[in-house]
Each structure stands twice: as C-alpha cells, then as structure tokens.
Structure 1
Amino acid sequence: MIELTGWEPLGISVDWAAIERELGVPLPTDYKELYEVFGGGVFSDSVYFLGRDEGPGAFDFLRQWRVGLSVDRDSKFGDVSAVAPYAVYAPGGKGLVEWGSTEWADEYFWLIDAERPGNYPILARSNDVGGWVRYDMSTAEFLCRVLADADFQPFGIAQYNLGMMFEPGSGAP
C-alpha cells in the first residue's frame, strides 16, 4: 500500500489493547499496521478507510461501531438490522464491524466471531450486487485489490483511473 500510494508512514501510536478490550477480540494485525501507517482517511478520492480518529469522528471505526451497535440493539426498531441478515458485532458474540466504505455506498466489514479470534473474513456489499460477498483475505489484500485490480469486481475501482493517493482524515497528525 505504501508503494502504491507513495505515502510516507505516519507511525501513529494507538492503544490497541484498550480498543481490543472494549471489543472483546483482537483486531487484524494488518489492519492495525495500515492504520499506524496511514491513519483514517480516503484513498483515491473515493475509498474511505476507518481508523481510530479521536477528532470529530468521521473516520473513527470505534465510534461508528458503538453507534451501529446501539441502533442494532434498540428495541424500537424491532428485529431489523442495518446489516441484515447479520447483526452488528457485540462483545462476546458474532457480527459485523465496518472498517471501510466508498462514495458509491459500498461497505466493507469484518465478520467477527468472539469464539474464533484471529479469523476475519471480509463481507462487502454494494448497491450493484444487492447482497453480501465474502472474501477470505486480509484487510490489506482486499484494500489493495479494490484500489489496484480493475478485475476485482464489483468492488475494484482501478478502471476509473482515479490515481493512487491517500488523503488523511480530520484527526491525522
């Protein structure tokens, strides 16, 4: 990813242990490395990468996860979930945690199962597909394929020639 974007690593320090205690599971190692290098922000003017942005929160996956979990658990919405047929991950359970999206409303999640820590399949959905697509690959590989592989459909954006750059989010150092 560094070579693709020409990005100079930021070396962001994050208290991953505190975040993982709140979630009840460890996060993917490659995701943590990506965040420490890039921070939260936007790749190629269209792919939003969520991290731990303690600023206003636009790129803060933890804040968005908390809101999603609160809404998912709110009884006034009944059994309807924004990530149906799944649920938003709750500590100790099984569900989705969003880590990225696009300006075209594509969404990227990990399917986390507290009973299977270290296993992080990616579930992605797009309005073009109409359902969930599962990928058994790392976060970094998925993101790289989205950005650089024109044949990675329906999620690849390389065919649009948007360039390979990164713009840090609001809370970047």
Structure 2
Amino acid sequence: MLRIEELEAALPAMTPWRVPGGRSVDWAALEAVLGTALPSDFRALAEAYPVLVIDDFLSVSVPRPGREVSWASGAREDEILQDLYEMGDTEDYVPYPHPGGLISWGESNSGDVFYWKTSPTDPDAWLVVVRTANADWIEFPVCAVEFLVGVYGRTIDVPGMPRDFPSDDPKVLGLSDRVD
C-alpha cells in the first residue's frame, strides 16, 4: 500500500492543500453508520487533505469533519448504482452493503465513478472498480491511493477516459471543510 507522499510526488499540485496537523475525521462515527472500516491509505488521504478536484475533472470525495455521518449515509445509499443494479447494468457488481458491494470514493465531471470493491473483508485489500461514462466496468488490482499514483504517474491507463486525461500539468483545487 502506497503512502500519501508517493501521491504527492505524482501529483505535486495537491501539496498546497495539505492540512497541517490533520483534519480530525471522526472515523468511529463514519464507520458506525457505514458498517465497515475504510482502507488505511484513504483514511490517511482524508486526514491530510480536503475534497480534491483535479483538473476540474476528477473529484476525490473524502469525508468532511462534522459531516462524517452524511458521507457514510451517501455511500450506503448510492441511488444511481442501486438503479443500475436493479436494471442489470452492473456486470455482476453489487451496491454496498451487499457482500463485496461497491462504495464510491470519486467521480469525474463526465459521469465516470471510482469505487472500492468491498471484498475481501480487509479494507486494505479492496480493489478499485471504475464505471466509465460509456458504461464500461474496469477493475484495477490496486487500492485508491495507488490507483491515483498510477494514473497521475502514467503507469495506469483507464480506458474510456478523455484523451487529455491525465493532463501534462494537472491542477488541483481543495474544497473547504467549512460546515455551514
């Protein structure tokens, strides 16, 4: 499992958004609602960074302090994935909380969604599944941070993405943690 520093090396534009001292996400509250722990690489990312938007294209959805229950509820009640599943359009993938179900951790502005496949039971062994806007389902044998390192380090190619993904000089925007 890769460390956050390896993602920062592959995507240096994210480093200005690092939160000194961490963000203090209430993981116990989030996991109580979600019904599972989350991968440690994602937890480290969520402690170090707010929601990140890369090249105004890919959003990495991390829980905001004070909004953990809302994040977990949204992950459990993915209506779009549930509708696709009920229509038989998920190629044998199932929504969480079904065993091995998918939990979203990111999306693109083109309609691509990035998930974890929640099997095996160890969250640190979960794989990334991408549902492209073209309705292709692609599984990658890596965790979320390793996936991002691979994409932005250009060692992982995601079929079906725009030709300019990733860009040569990705820009990163961090969204505020402020809870109104």
Common fold, TM-score beyond 0.5? yes
Distance 2:47 2:129 in 1: 23
Letter in 1 for 2:94: A
Candidates 2, 10, 29, aligned match of 1:18: 29
**TM-score, normalised via structure 2 length:** 0.73
* 1:85 matched residue in structure 2: 92
Alignment CA distance shift 1:164-1:90 (3 Å): same
- Give RMSD over aligned pairs: 3.3
Alignment CA distance shift 1:68-1:151 (3 Å): closer
* 1:98 matched residue in structure 2: 104
SS at match of 1:22: helix
Distance 2:146 2:93 in 1: 23
Distance 1:137 1:157 in 2: 19
Identity of aligned residues (%): 22
SS at match of 2:101: strand
Distance 2:149 2:51 in 1: 16
Candidates 138, 143, 166, aligned match of 2:143: 138
SS at match of 2:95: coil
Distance 1:54 1:66 in 2: 18
**TM-score, normalised via structure 1 length:** 0.75
In terms of mean alpha carbon deviation, does 78-87 or 135-144 score higher? 78-87
Distance 1:70 1:103 in 2: 15
1:37 aligns with 2:28: no
Cα deviations by residue, 1:110-144 (Å, 9 ceiling, x for unpaired): 0113x62232111112134x421111112111112
What are the ranges of 5 or more consecutive residues in structure 2 without an aligned counterpart? 1-6
Distance 1:39 1:88 in 2: 25
In terms of mean alpha carbon deviation, does 116-125 or 27-36 score higher? 116-125
Alignment CA distance shift 1:132-1:157 (3 Å): same
Distance 1:35 1:109 in 2: 16
Cα deviations by residue, 1:99-120 (Å, 9 ceiling, x for unpaired): 011112221000113x622321
Letter in 2 for 1:79: E
SS at match of 1:94: coil
Distance 1:34 1:78 in 2: 29
* 1:47 matched residue in structure 2: 58
Distance 1:46 1:56 in 2: 23
Distance 2:96 2:107 in 1: 17
Letter in 2 for 1:96: L
* 1:122 matched residue in structure 2: 128
* Partners of 1:148 and 1:157 within 8 A in 2: no
Distance 1:38 1:123 in 2: 22
* 1:108 matched residue in structure 2: 114
Distance 1:16 1:123 in 2: 23
Alignment coverage as a number of residue pairs: 163
Following TM superposition, by how much is the alpha carbon of 1:81 offset from its aligned partner in structure 2, in angstroms? Answer: 6.3
